[in-house]
Amino acid sequence: MKGRQIILDHIGGREAAALMVDGRLDDLLIASDAPRPGAIYRARADRPVKGMGGMFLTTPDGPAFVRQVRGISPGQPMLVQVTGHAEPGKAIPVTSRLLFKSRYAIVTPDAPGLNISRRIRDDDLRDSLLAVAHQMMDGRDMGVILRSSCADADAGDIAEDITAMADLAEAVTADTDGAPELLVAGDAPHALAWRDWSAPADVVTDPGCFDSHGVLDAIEALQSPRADLPGKAALYVEATHALVAVDVNTGADTTLAAGLKANIAAARDLPRQLRLRGLGGMILIDPAPMPKKERRVFEDALRAAFRADATETALAGWTPLGNFELQRQRQRQPLTELLP
């Protein structure tokens, strides 16, 4: 089926949302019991980590760790926001730089100023959006970023969104005293789908729509490490305790260009595979055999693919053994931990 579909349902008793693009699963969100990215705590400073500039904190959901903090003493309360998924046995990753994010606006208490997404290039539209932002943020000592979704939105909806996020930001940032407490819960999958999948799409909410629209079949396929690529090639994605191993296989193709074709196809599909499987951390790619002179083409394909992906990913480069390393933020819980 052509076009975009946002499918809202439940799986294993958990709230879930799926984004289908031209009949293929492009993104998947499943609720978990772990702290959600975006959640805001009033935490208590516990103990500093010398040499790292970080601090362990106490939260209602367990220990957390914040990097690069200064002027915080043990026992002092501070506001922090969850940035990603915590590995088993490790502290919740948090930051002291809070963001209040909605469909059209991101309010930044620590960074005053008005900004608009670079994807909005029409000067007249940018001017009108700035006028709305100025009006809604007048007298507030906070910043706001207008997201690309504002391009096709009603000015009244944008103004309402800015006001709601700014009011929430003011209430939270003023609530600094007291015992450790969850002040803002992160968005659940259905709310995240509304917030982040803002491009035009058909929304399906019928009971059992995951089954009727092929989402369950796509999820079942993700339980295998193998992902088929064009031209009979295949990509194998396997998570270990230390890293995520990615192997590219040319399959039955034995032509001279088989390696490069398989590697480019793998580079284009890898962000989607990692996103759907909820994988991050250190990623090691073992590409199909190709001449060294073709490595640049593969790197360019990787950069283009991850540039379009929302999760922060650093391309580290080649190892002496001819593998390629990446470092990806752990924003989601692995799919294997969420499936019934």
CA distance 204 to 78: 41
User: Nearest 5°: phi and psi at 45?
Assistant: -65, 135
**Residue segments in the chain with a per-residue pLDDT below the cut of 50:** none
Half-sphere exposure of residue 314: CA atoms within 13 angstroms, side-chain side = 6
pLDDT of residue 133: 95
So what's the pLDDT on residue 173?
A: 95
- Please tell me the distance from the alpha carbon of residue 246 to that of residue 237, in angstroms, as a whole number: 5
**Cβ-based neighbour number of residue 146 at 10 Å:** 24
Give me the residues paired with residue 41 across strands.
Answer: 80, 182
Strands 62-66 and 92-95: parallel
DSSP string, 99-158: -EE-SSEEEETTS-EEEE-TT---HHHHHHHHHHHHHHHTT-S-EEEE-GGGGGS-HHHH
pLDDT at residue 302, rounded to an integer? 97
∠ at Cα 165 (158, 83), nearest 5°?
A: 120
pLDDT tens digits along 270-307: 999 999 999 999 999 999 999 999 999 999 999 999 99
Residue-level pLDDT at 149: 95
212-258 pLDDT, tens per residue? Answer: 999 999 999 999 999 999 888 999 999 998 999 999 999 888 888 89
Determine the Cα–Cα distance for residues 14 and 234; give it in Å rounded to an integer.
31
Decide yes or no: CATH 2.40.50 for domain 40-97.
Answer: yes
Contacts of 211 (CB under 8 A, 6+ apart): none
Distance of CA 89 to the CA centre of its chain: 22
Helix (H) or strand (E) holding 17: strand 14-21
